Chains A and B, each alone.
Chain A
């Protein structure tokens, strides 16, 4: 065990480098996925058949094929078409694959949450002669946002876990660094460290998303503010708050 710890000590820079790549992929992938989810979620709810059809084809393609296939598509296939701006490094290929794959799942969440905003809210904003853009921005999105956060949190955790496959496209992420640590120490020690690091990352993301959910609900007049929720005392619920 003490030799394991000293091996871990010498391997720390390596593990941190791998952890850095995992964090960059997760953050980059999540940012791109978020943009894609919003754009395609709105397009998929459009009334124009052509716009809706286009969004559906893109969403179903990325939802229907394997993440690994898409990763190889961005890594092996697209850079080989001889178009200079498609010859991106593996890190970009990874971010694109995660962004598009989880973005497509997220688009369904966005579309579903917008549809789930009660009919009366739409009608009321029409009655108050809001413009469609104004209605989306001030009435529909704030309510849909509170609804979509729990599902987006699940997707975020899945994205983090999905990044563990980037060793396939030559990237040195946390999983690869753990595999190196296994050779220097032993199996149970190295993988315990690795799995715990992933668990802690996932936990931090969940805490962050829970804070966002509290804030979004507070802005709708449901539940307490984030500052109140973070105080060291038992929570007070005002209005309806889902667990």
Chain B
């Protein structure tokens, strides 16, 4: 096998790479992020409102998921639920794994809401539900937007882990093309460039958003 660079392999592999990118990489990132954002908030609100033993158990489960590899979790779910479609399993596992990160972010966000806001809702004799819905959560979520964005990018870059459970994402298509043609150089570099093109502008946007939020609060 020789080194060097062959543009032909770039053009030939591009359709299959982009297909994997659109049908798996992007899909998992978008749906997984929505699950993570919603479930993370639910987890954090549960942890705050549940009775102490249940809250302690929930904290342990969240830490356990956070501190063990997502690849191992993917493989575990895949073998436990062989009847289900691997793509669905991938989306759900990514959603749950990142929800445990988001729960921590929401915790910090809720803690950052000034004490005066709580006192004001008491003074206005708002109900507990209304305090959370109308006052605390909107302010907490606003502060967590940059972190959510960073986790979306990091989930995006973790999606190739789906190779472990046979989901044909962009990287697995790249490897298949590489194996068929005994050429890995071009496909892997092109896959890297596609990741860079998608993630770099997003991270720049998030940095801008961060500055704007810091500026207006």
Task: Point out residues on A near B: beta carbons under 8 Å.
Answer: 60-61, 63-70, 72-73, 76-77, 80-82, 157, 160-165, 167-168, 175, 178-179, 182, 187-188, 191, 194-195, 198-199, 202-203
Contacts and interface: CB of A to CB of B under 8 A. Distances in A.
A64 B171 contact: no
Given A64-B200, A77-B184, A161-B69, A199 B79 contact: no
Given A64-B203, A66-B160, A77 B188 contact: yes
The A contact surface, by secondary structure, is helix
B175 interface: yes
A109 to B, nearest CB: 13
B190 to A, nearest CB: 10
B67 interface: yes
Among A160, A161, A187: residue with most chain B CB under 10 A? A161
B3 interface: yes
B79 A64 contact: no
B72 A178 contact: yes
Contact of A198 (B72, B158, B185): B72
Interface stretch (B116-124, B126-134, B191-199): B191-199
B69 A175 contact: yes
Given A76-B178, A203-B67, A64 B72 contact: no
Given A80-B184, A168-B163, A66 B71 contact: no
The B contact surface, by secondary structure, is helix
B157 interface: yes
B1 interface: yes
Contacts of B2: 80, 82
A65 B154 CA distance: 10
Contacts of B79: 182, 187, 191
Nearest to A178: B72
A157 B69 CA distance: 9
Contact of A194 (B64, B72, B160): B72
Given A66-B160, A68-B171, A198-B69, A175 B185 contact: no
